[in-house]
Amino acid sequence: MLTPLLAELAGLGVKLAVEGDQLVMQAPRGVLTAELRGRVMARKPELLLHLAGPTTRRLDFSLFYFASEASTTPGDPYKLLLDGARYADQHGFHAVWVPERHFHALGGLFPNPAVAAAALATVTHRVQLRAGSIVLPLHDPLRVAEEWAMVDQLSGGRVGLSFASGWHADDFALAPERYAERKRHMLEGLETVRALWRGEAVERTGGGGRPVSVQTHPRPTRPSPPIWLTAVTSAETFVLAGEHGCNVLTCLLGQEPEELAAKIAAYRAARAAHGHDAGRVTCMVHAYLGDDLATVKARVRRPFSRYLENTLDLVANLARGVGAGLDPASLPAAEREALLEHAFERYWRTAALLGTPASVRPLVDQLAAMGVDELGCLVDFGLEADEVMAGLGRLAALQLAVSK
């Protein structure tokens, strides 16, 4: 938090100002020691955002899906996906995001985001359709370009792609040889997809062992789709996204808003240094809005806690997959429940759009001021489909209020 530092500076008579992209400090003689200056400059990105005040940047609201199979409508697991997309298309939401997940119930409805997006293309007309994210090292870029060009045609040019290097070792049962250097494979695959999308040919080896030059079909509607890199805890990935001219898809998992602010600042500095425009930052946030704060908290506590429990199980699988000692599943039941309660309260207070339109507005404004351009509202964390659909109206109203 910046508050203690700002209070200390005010007490010492230190004044801060912004000149261009520089942080200027004015202080009485002898007050601005090297130690104090160092602490201030260490928080420069956050201080620049704080001093800049409210942003006039447009903040888009989108829907984001990542369901656990257990939380879906029995016999119709994709009902909320299709109904929510139709609603988003008709009520001003910007995009619908679908993930890629393998071998686990959490997100397991979406092993192929291209298939999900193709289905959405047939029931929507306006809303953007985005993959969040394609784990590129698991795939041949030729297939990625082919599949998503088809979705681009089906949707009339509404496709956007976020690429990730992958983080879960079990997912790499599909391509175990790529796990160790997955980030390199992602970046190389990214450039191959871009080249294929532009209509360029790539060299491969055919079945007869001879080199062949191949182009992908069908041709997409545009020479380049919007492209994101998925980045969360690694500041390096934010910088890589900026250097490669990509947008960023992130979330508040494992980081506080102030930490994210510094990473966004580094991302935009990297884009500027490589001759790119400001780019676009999308932040996924869990979301459900009601009319009464206490009622919403009581209603979401159990399903959201169970959703977080699935996340713990995923982390346990990760720990086993890489030989680490951390295994939340081995915790005694009471400690596990205490951990889930702590996690729920953290999201409720500072990291999710759970509550009423008025109670979540400060977080929305904070994220916008930090440089976030789009909120990907994850709505399928375990509530009944009818409840989620009712809450979408309040999200749509909040988007209108924010845009005024």
For the chain, give the secondary structure using H, E and C: CCHHHHHHHHHHCCEEEEECCEEEEECCCCCCCHHHHHHHHHCHHHHHHHHHCCCCCCCEEEEECCCEHHHCCCCCCCHHHHHHHHHHHHCCCCEEEECCCCCCCECCCCCCHHHHHHHHHCCCCCCEEEEEEEEHHHCCHHHHHHHHHHHHHHHCCCEEEEEECCCCHHHHHCCHHHCCCHHHHHHHHHHHHHHHHCCCCEEEECCCCCEEEECCCCCCCCCCCCEEEECCCCHHHHHHHHHCCCEEEEECCCCCHHHHHHHHHHHHHHHHHCCCCCCCEEEEEEEEECCCHHHHHHHHHHHHHHHHHHHHHHHHHHHHHCCCCCCHHHCCHHHHHHHHHHHHHHHHHHHCEEECHHHHHHHHHHHHHHCCCEEEEECCCCCCHHHHHHHHHHHHHHHHHHHC
Residue 54 confidence (pLDDT) above 50: no
Q: Which of 66-75, 77-86, 350-359 has the lowest mean pLDDT?
A: 66-75
Domain 3-52 has CATH 1.10.10.1830: yes
Tell me: the pLDDT tens digits for 367-378?
A: 999 999 999 999
pLDDT confidence of residue 320: 39
Architecture per CATH, domain 60-403, reads as Alpha-Beta Barrel (3.20)
pLDDT confidence of residue 329: 59
Query: Does 311 or 271 have the greater pLDDT score?
Result: 271
pLDDT confidence of residue 323: 43
Per the prediction, the chain carries an average pLDDT of 87
Query: Does 44 or 114 have the greater pLDDT score?
Result: 114
Residue 315 confidence (pLDDT) above 70: no
What mean pLDDT is predicted for residues 37-42? 82
Tell me: the pLDDT tens digits for 140-184?
A: 999 999 999 999 999 999 999 999 998 778 888 899 999 999 999
From-to residues of CATH 3.20.20.30 in the chain: 60-403
pLDDT confidence of residue 381: 92
pLDDT confidence of residue 73: 64
What mean pLDDT is predicted for residues 9-31? 72
pLDDT more than 70, % of the chain: 86
Residue 82 confidence (pLDDT) above 80: yes
pLDDT more than 90, % of the chain: 63
Query: Does 260 or 57 have the greater pLDDT score?
Result: 260
389 — pLDDT class (breaks 50, 70, 90)? very high
Tell me: the pLDDT tens digits for 98-151?
A: 999 867 766 678 899 999 999 999 999 999 999 999 999 999 999 999 999 999
